[in-house]
Chain A
């Protein structure tokens, strides 16, 4: 065994021999780490809840609609409907930070889709390849349109569940040919059933989707958009991102201050945002409390170790007398701090996780137990043990053995 190993073994034996003293010191760190672990578990649960809300309610999506406050149903001649273009979408993607995905959207009603002797009139959408991801919708059969389809202005079409059901009652739509406004298109996929929107107005299953390049050049033959949809990287940043988008578009469209915008940026509903805020605040608050508790635990260790150095001055003097170097003594006390911190950490993590699980069971907070709290707790209590043990260890090493041994103890 090396010198360090021998010292470490001796420290371990001493800590075991002085169980009460050791446990007392461990409690300080245990409390701090316990709070930290509980906070992490709660925090992770809160993060999960946030993600769930975001996904469920589309809280990370911004929708830019052409035409100001004017409804999309209004007549074509209304001012502003023809001003939203593809370069706006690219500008948003490039110039505004936090915009993860952006897709253009064209849509138009009254498009006929024919298969053999069946025909429907439905609404057609022309979109980018990212659109499906942004809307978090899915395909029941086949695949969504790809970048290659976009590049090739391919005549491929996605069918909504109702359209597919009407044209292909026996199923098997994928790969077949349909005529869209008299042009032959290949069915690339069928959407899952999605029902209607919250207001009950839009029937999401009654639609077809083609690549934007196809819709703008072939099907609808016009460049301007009805919408731009945007996925924002952090749902909590939606309001500021929305404002940035508005400012960018005002500049691009030459909207003067005081003039009405020729577009409308719709943000997700406020109620869900409030829930996001709460979860977020809970997360941040619990971490702040935890770090404070951990620092407090470290202070406890430091003070107890300082007291120990004073109390054990004779032991220190003796060890020096029998051949310990100053560095050996320093190492001994630093290792004591470290071992105590690690032991306390282990205790604290266990307690913290139990508390968090209890809170979850009581419905007070959601929680998810992973290896993350263990890892963070281990690292933090090692740091605490080292940092707060350093000062007492140095004090011990600097103790003058002659002075301590000269004292006549009781």
Chain B
């Protein structure tokens, strides 16, 4: 589903050029739940943005579902994001003065094949994350965990095949974080492809496999990761 070959990305700030991704090669199959681990500043968010068609790589190849989007127009990228990808952010990014229901239906605004059952779908999505009794609440009337669940419901409304989550539990307490990860596990079980970016090994362990991003490159094996001081314990999952 996801093919990345020797992807590079740099940022220019004034005269200074920072190379963030120095040749990322990655394969993710349909239905996999993959965690991308790395320290802050390792380029995880950049990688996620490229995966999510929010940013273009400077070099290398990225194919999503077999399509190479490197020469796609902004309109085409936007349409693909709308249909194929669902984002979940650390800061939730909900509209403050909109109800949970309105927040969840937001992606429908940009869907040209406007479904008639938008509100129904939204209610189903909220039910799927356990918030049926909170549809009309505003974000400031919801706990952190509930807000993130609204965000997940929003990410699901267009039935995307890929879910990208950037430190989804970063702003949550431990219990809420566990609940969120449970939801991700369940979604993975339903066959969706999930890529979750985190710096926390215990969170990464909930995924099917972990990919390490060290110094702008994908590193192999737990040995390298430990050497880079990322892991305390061996990465044990399966």
Contacts and interface: CB of A to CB of B under 8 A. Distances in A.
A17 B97 contact: yes
Interface residues on A, range: 20 to 34
A405 B51 CA distance: 14
Nearest to B164: A321
A49 B139 CA distance: 59
B74 A325 contact: yes
12 contacts: A6-B108, A7-B109, A14-B97, A318-B93, A321-B54, A321-B87, A322-B154, A323-B78, A323-B79, A401-B54, A402-B46, A402-B54
Given A327-B75, A408-B91, 17 more contacts: A3-B112, A10-B106, A17-B98, A318-B89, A319-B110, A321-B52, A321-B54, A321-B87, A322-B110, A322-B154, A323-B78, A323-B81, A323-B83, A402-B46, A402-B54, A402-B55, A406-B46
A252 to B, nearest CB: 74
B112 A314 contact: no
Interface in B40-60: 45-46, 49, 52, 54-55
B133 interface: no
Contacts of B89: 318, 405
A18 interface: yes
Interface in A4-56: 6-7, 10, 13-14, 17-18
Interface of B: 45-46, 49, 52, 54-55, 74-75, 78-79, 81-83, 87, 89-91, 93, 95, 97-98, 102, 106-112, 114, 154, 158, 166
A74 interface: no
Given A18-B97, A321-B81, A328 B91 contact: no
A320 B87 contact: no
A319 B54 contact: no
B79 to A, nearest CB: 7
A320 B54 CA distance: 8
Contacts of A314: 91, 93
Interface string A389-410: 0000000000001100110110
Contact of B54 (A7, A10, A405, A408): A405
Most buried by A among B74, B79, B110: B110
A20 to B, nearest CB: 10
Contacts of B114: 1, 6
A405 B197 CA distance: 14
Nearest to B87: A321
Contacts of A328: 78, 110
Contacts of A372: none
A211 B46 CA distance: 95
A272 to B, nearest CB: 61
Given A6-B109, A405-B89, A324 B78 contact: yes
Nearest to B75: A325
Contacts of A324: 78, 109-110
Contacts of A320: 54, 78, 81
Q: List 9 tightest A-B contacts by C-beta distance, closest first.
A: A323-B82, A17-B97, A402-B55, A323-B110, A318-B93, A325-B78, A402-B49, A322-B107, A402-B54
A321 B162 CA distance: 13
A401 B53 CA distance: 10
A61 to B, nearest CB: 66
A59 interface: no
A326 interface: yes
A13 B49 CA distance: 29
Nearest to A21: B97
A323 B95 contact: no
A328 B74 CA distance: 11
A315 interface: yes
Contacts of B91: 314, 408-409
A323 B107 contact: yes
Contact of A406 (B45, B87, B110): B45
B92 to A, nearest CB: 9
A13 B98 contact: yes
B11 to A, nearest CB: 9
B131 to A, nearest CB: 18
A315 B109 CA distance: 14
A324 B90 CA distance: 20
Nearest to A314: B93
B130 to A, nearest CB: 22
B111 A323 contact: yes
Contact of B49 (A315, A326, A405): A405
Contacts of A325: 74-75, 78, 110
Contacts of A409: 91
A322 to B, nearest CB: 4
Contacts of A319: 106, 110
Contacts of B93: 314-315, 317-318, 321, 405
Contacts of A408: 90-91
A322 B49 contact: no
